[in-house]
Structure formats: structure tokens, C-alpha cells
């Protein structure tokens, strides 16, 4: 009986994590992207569950029940979780769409570092007091530790995001990697990571979070290596952001200026990176890349092959898997009402771990297949860019020599009578 109850509780908690993740995505789609709503949701959930469990064990101890963990205990836990999920879903459903935040760098007013430090101190003191006064009944101490340190983790993660340098003007001669994507897909899973890779990228907090390692976005996966091998990672910022996500230096502009800002980012960019998750403005942005002559600097990356049935099941359950190649191409081929069709020829599905670029006429070229690490994705891109840059420099030198040969003798050979 105890084994059945344990498996039931594990399945319940897994279902709660999946459904809470989906509710959080709906909340983000409405523009609530700050750290406070998910923290409140998890604190309330954990607090309610631990309170219910504590009450159950206290009641069982008073009644002299030697086996409090049974089917009724599992039913209580499932009921509490179901009620909390229903309330969370209802709240998200009735919430109005959040207003877009004004343009400019994000500067939150909450003192996240101070809050996180206070939470760590108070949690440590509370856990120590509970263990010292009643060491035989340590379940409340464990509950307080989980809630407190989870809240502190969120606070210090917010500190890491606030501490990022704001974007400045592109310096002459500097290399810029433009991250082109739809804001709704910023949190879409691209692959998995290891703790060592997170620490090497300076993300110690993510290395301590197993969920963050399982759910790695396109930006988190490539940005550290791209910054070292290709150039500074930049992009437009989501107007609903409360904090800038870790990664690209984002430029936050209003709805009236985003097209000019995007064109200004494409023009000096060494390359433009994106992945197969389409968004409504994709045809327009591809048209800008075509008009700016940047087709050879555009790279579309497909996610690595998902390894293991458990991981594929987890991605499916969360509803956070990347969109396929055919869906991406179908949106990219739509005509934009301002610029018309972008004119790119995407070709057949290149498969997992592919790096796709285009020639000057917009025809697809597959540079790599089966890539699984940032280096395997970015090395073909760098090699291709160096080849294109050498060809353009050679063409510029030839054109300069031709102009000098045509203009020089005419001006220097004639003598006045």
C-alpha cells in the first residue's frame, strides 16, 4: 500500500509541474513576465501542501494512528493540488492583458538582492529554531527550507538579470550577432545542458537548477559561445519584459519604432541567427534581410535530436517543444503587406541539428547536419562568414582597381593646349 501511495504522489507532483508550467506560459502570453507571479504561485502551492500534510500528520498523531500514510492521505494531497491548479487557471483566465511597458532599459524598483538575503537569513533561522525545539518532528522545518530557499533562488536569479550591461551604440568595426525570434517563443525549449556548461558560462544559479538544465532555450544554449566566436549577441526586447532575460543585450523600443530599430540592427550585423519557431512578423523581417542584402548572413538552426523517450515525453507534456521545419517555412513564405514575399527558397526539411543559410539569391544551403553542441553549430557559421567576407573584400578591391583604372588616365592623360 505504501508503494502505491508513493507512486501516486510522485505522479501527482509530476502532473502539477506540467500543468503549472502550461499555466505560466499562458500568463506570460498575457504579458505578465516578471518574477513575482511564479514565485507567489509556487510559494502558495508549497505552503498549502505542506500545511495540509502537517495537519494530517498532527491529526493522525493525536488519534494514535500508527499508519497515517494511506489512500486517504493520497486523496487529500491530490485534492489540494487539484484545487490550487483550478484556482490558478481561473485567475490566469480572468486576468486582463498586461499593458506594454515604456521603451528604454528595464530598471525594476524591487531590491531583489536585499529580499533574497533576508529570505536566506530568516529561513535559516526558522529551520534552526524548528529543529532545535522539536527535532523528532522535522517536517515543518523541511517545508520551510524548501519554500524559503526556492524564493531566495528566484530573487538572486533576478539580481543576475538586473546586473546585465545595457545595450549601447554599435561600435565601428565591432561584430554583432542579431538574435531574430518571436517574443512568444523566447522560452521555447531548444535542447538540454549540463551543469559544467552552465558554470563555464558564468551561470552558477542555473547549474544548481536541474529544471533549468532540462529546459534550455536557443539563447541560453548559443549565446556564451557565439559571444566568444562571432560577436556581441543583440536583439530587440519584448515590450512586456519586467526584467531583461539573461543573454542578449536587448533594445526596448515602442511599437511605432520597432521596424526602424530592427533594420538598424540588421544593417551592421555580422550574422542573423534564428530557429524554427515562426511568429507573425517573420515575413516582414525576412523581407528586411532581403532588402539589406543580408541573405548570406541569415542562418536558420534546427534543434538537436531529442535523446531518450523520457525526455521526449517531458517535452511533449510541457507543450514547449520546438516547431517543425514545415510550419516555419509555411509562415516564412507568406507575403507581407508592406514588403511582399521575401523570396527565400527554403528547400526540404534538413533534419535535426542542421545549420541552414542562403546564397545571394535566397536559395537554401545546408552547412551542417546532426549538430548537438554550440561549437558544432557555430563553427560552420564562422567558416561560412569568413568565406563570404573574403569574397566581398576581394570584390571591393577589384571594383576599386577598376574605378582607378577607368578614372585615372582620363584625368591625368589630357594636357591643356
Please state the separation of Cα 136 from the chain's center in Å.
Answer: 43
pLDDT in the model for residue 147: 76
155/387: higher pLDDT:
387
Reduced to 3 states (helix: H, G, I; strand: E, B; else coil), residue 273 is strand
* Cβ pair 227, 257 in contact under 8 A: no
In order of 105, 150, 192, the CA distances from 210 in angstroms are: 30, 13, 10
* Range in 177-191, 211-225, 271-285 with the lowest mean pLDDT: 211-225
- Above 90 in pLDDT, residue 275? yes
Q: Residues 315-345: pLDDT tens digits? A: 555 555 556 899 999 999 998 887 777 789 9
Please state the separation of Cα 102 from the chain's center in Å.
Answer: 22
Burial 246-277 (b: 16+ CB within 10 A, else e): bbbbbbbbeeeebeebbeebbeebbbbbbbbb
* Range in 203-207, 299-303, 375-379, 405-409 with the lowest mean pLDDT: 203-207
The average pLDDT across 184-202 equals 64
Q: Whole-model pTM?
A: 0.74
Count other Cβ atoms within 10 Å, centred on residue 182. 17
| Secondary-structure breakdown of the chain: helix, strand, coil percentages, each rounded to the nearest 5 | 55, 10, 35
pLDDT in the model for residue 203: 54
pLDDT in the model for residue 319: 56
Best-predicted range by mean pLDDT (14-18, 203-207, 358-362): 358-362
Question: DSSP of 183-213, one letter per residue?
Answer: GGGTT-EEE---HHHHHHTT-HHHHT-HHHH
CA dist 301 and 307 (Å) reads 18
Question: DSSP of 58-86, one letter per residue?
Answer: HHHHHHT-S---SHHHHHHHHHHHHHHHH
- Domains of the chain, residue spans: 1-100, 103-163, 176-398
* Cβ pair 236, 265 in contact under 8 A: yes
How many residues does the structure list for the chain?
417
308/24: higher pLDDT:
24
Mean pLDDT of the chain: 80
* Range in 52-66, 155-169, 214-228, 347-361 with the lowest mean pLDDT: 155-169
Containing 307, the helix (H) or strand (E) segment is none
Reduced to 3 states (helix: H, G, I; strand: E, B; else coil), residue 166 is coil
* Range in 140-144, 215-219, 262-266, 389-393 with the lowest mean pLDDT: 140-144
Best-predicted range by mean pLDDT (76-85, 125-134, 282-291, 303-312): 282-291
Q: pLDDT > 70: what percent of the chain? A: 81
pLDDT in the model for residue 195: 47
- Above 90 in pLDDT, residue 214? no
258/127: higher pLDDT:
258
The average pLDDT across 18-32 equals 79
Q: Which runs of consecutive H residues, i.e. helices, occur in 319-357?
A: 325-332
- Above 50 in pLDDT, residue 34? yes
User: Which of 333, 334, 335, 337 lies closest to 346, judged by CA?
Assistant: 333
- Above 60 in pLDDT, residue 131? yes
- Above 60 in pLDDT, residue 406? yes
- Above 60 in pLDDT, residue 17? yes
Amino acid at each position: 500500500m505504501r508503494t502505491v501511495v508513493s507512486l501516486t504522489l510522485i505522479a501527482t507532483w509530476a502532473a502539477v509541474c506540467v500543468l503549472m508550467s502550461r499555466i505560466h506560459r499562458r500568463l506570460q502570453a498575457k504579458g505578465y513576465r516578471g518574477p513575482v507571479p511564479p514565485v507567489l504561485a509556487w510559494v502558495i502551492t508549497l505552503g498549502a501542501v505542506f500545511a495540509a500534510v502537517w495537519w494530517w500528520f498532527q491529526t493522525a498523531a493525536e488519534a494514535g494512528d500508527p499508519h497515517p500514510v494511506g489512500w486517504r492521505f493520497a486523496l487529500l494531497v491530490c485534492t489540494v493540488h487539484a484545487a490550487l491548479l483550478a484556482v490558478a487557471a481561473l485567475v490566469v483566465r480572468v486576468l486582463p492583458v498586461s499593458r506594454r511597458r515604456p521603451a528604454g532599459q528595464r530598471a525594476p524598483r524591487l531590491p531583489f538582492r536585499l529580499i533574497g538575503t533576508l529570505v536566506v537569513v530568516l529561513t535559516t533561522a526558522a529551520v534552526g529554531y524548528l529543529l532545535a525545539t522539536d527535532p523528532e518532528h522535522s517536517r515543518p522545518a523541511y517545508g520551510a527550507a524548501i519554500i524559503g530557499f526556492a524564493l531566495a533562488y528566484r530573487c538572486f536569479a533576478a539580481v543576475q538579470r538586473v546586473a546585465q550591461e545595457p545595450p549601447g551604440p554599435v561600435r565601428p568595426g565591432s561584430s554583432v550577432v542579431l538574435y531574430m525570434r518571436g517574443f512568444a517563443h523566447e522560452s521555447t525549449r531548444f535542447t538540454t545542458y549540463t551543469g559544467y556548461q552552465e558554470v563555464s558560462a558564468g551561470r552558477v544559479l542555473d547549474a544548481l537548477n536541474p529544471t533549468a538544465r532540462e529546459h534550455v532555450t536557443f539563447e541560453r544554449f548559443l549565446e556564451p559561445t557565439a559571444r566568444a566566436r562571432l560577436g556581441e549577441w543583440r536583439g530587440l526586447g519584448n515590450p512586456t519584459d519586467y526584467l531583461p532575460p539573461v543573454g542578449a543585450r536587448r533594445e526596448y523600443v515602442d511599437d511605432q519604432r520597432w521596424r526602424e530599430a530592427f533594420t538598424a540592427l540588421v544593417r551592421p550585423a555580422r550574422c542573423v541567427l534564428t530557429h524554427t519557431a515562426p511568429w507573425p512578423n517573420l515575413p516582414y523581417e525576412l523581407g528586411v534581410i532581403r532588402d539589406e542584402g543580408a541573405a548570406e548572413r541569415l542562418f536558420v538552426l534546427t534543434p538537436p535530436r531529442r535523446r531518450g523517450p523520457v525526455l521526449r515525453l517531458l517535452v511533449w507534456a510541457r507543450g514547449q517543444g520546438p516547431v517543425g521545419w514545415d510550419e516555419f517555412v509555411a509562415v516564412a513564405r507568406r507575403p507581407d503587406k508592406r514588403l511582399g514575399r521575401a523570396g527565400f527558397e527554403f528547400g526540404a526539411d534538413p533534419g535535426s541539428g542542421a545549420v541552414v543559410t542562403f546564397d545571394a539569391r535566397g536559395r537554401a544551403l545546408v552547412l551542417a547536419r546532426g549538430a548537438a553542441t554550440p561549437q558544432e553549430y557555430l563553427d560552420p557559421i564562422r567558416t561560412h562568414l569568413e568565406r563570404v567576407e573574403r569574397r566581398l573584400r576581394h570584390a571591393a578591391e577589384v571594383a576599386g582597381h577598376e574605378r582607378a583604372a577607368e578614372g585615372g588616365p582620363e584625368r591625368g592623360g589630357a594636357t591643356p593646349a
